[in-house]
Amino acid sequence: MNGTSSTRKSQSKAAAPAAPQNTAPQNTAPAPAPAPAPIPAPAPVTPPPAPKVRGAVQNNMSTFSKLTPDQQADMIEKNLRTPLPIHMNSQSSLQHVLYGAGLTSAPDVVDDATFRRTAGSTIYRTVNNVYDGGLDLGFSAPDIAQQTMKSGQLRLPHGNTAVYGEGIYFAKSRSSSTVYGNVTGNISKTCVIESKFKPTAKIMSYNSARTGAQAEMRKGSKLGKALKKCSDPFSVYALSKGYQAMDNGMGYLIVMDRSCLVMNSKVTPK
């Protein structure tokens, strides 16, 4: 009995108590979230090209005449394919060239007193009411007069009126102009625009324009081939040589570039 007790005491002394476990709470906080990826900068926006300015703001008449004949031919060919606004004369090659190349600067428009003091001979353009049933489009004579003087685009007359080349026709006498007026009964559908050429105006004789254009076309040059495609090669040829108007030698003038004119803002009935 004593032996057993002694053995138990020795075993009790031999077995050291176990080390206490660390019962401190563990750090269970979640790991920080990764930083968000940087937002890429938006791609730069390229603005659309500025629209081509035509009419009174941009006049390339002198630039056009300074191009080489081959460059002029390229411009004519391109502009003959240029679509026109509905109110313009799509049958006119000059209309296409003027519109497509921006060769339609407006004239100087002055009041009646200033016009009377302006040097030079008065020339006259008579305009009539027009209506196109196919397009259901019409303009009164005063509307057309205002378009001729102030519009950003020069609108050429519709119909087969280009006996001496395409352009806007003026007469050297009032009576020679008003004979083309349209009066029905007591109702006038006509008004007259008075104008004068500026001292710097460049005027070519119609005969010279015709002879020059025909010679160019006979040569078979690139410009001549382009002129052959025009409904009126004579006015376009004159433009290519830097001229703004043609004189038919019989009392009438054909103006292609109205910026060579001073116009009276007072439009009178026939």
Tell me the one-letter amino acid at 204: M
Distance CA 166, CA 236 (A): 9
Q: What is the pLDDT of residue 54?
A: 38
CA dist., res. 186 & res. 142, Å (int)? 17
Beta pairing partners, 132: 137
According to DSSP, the residues that pair with 245 across neighbouring strands are: 203, 255
In order of start, what are the domains of the chain with their CATH numbers? 55-269 (3.90.228)
Strand residue runs (E) in 42-97: none
The pLDDT value recorded for residue 100 is 84
Instruction: Give me the amino acid identity at 128.
Output: N
Task: Supply 124's token pair.
Answer: 């006259």
Cβ neighbours around 140 below 10 Å, total: 15
Judge whether 107 and 262 are in contact, CB under 8 Å: yes
For each of the chain's 270 residues, which pLDDT tens digit applies?
444 444 444 444 444 555 555 554 555 556 666 666 666 655 554 443 433 433 333 455 667 888 999 999 999 999 999 888 877 888 899 999 988 888 778 899 999 999 999 999 999 999 988 766 555 667 788 888 998 998 887 888 765 557 899 999 999 999 999 988 876 655 568 899 999 999 999 999 999 999 999 999 999 999 999 999 999 999 999 999 999 999 999 999 999 999 999 999 999 876
Pull the structure tokens for residue 76. Answer: 């004519």
Q: By C-alpha distance, which of 87, 90, 187, 196 is closest to 144?
A: 87
Q: What is the pLDDT of residue 5?
A: 47
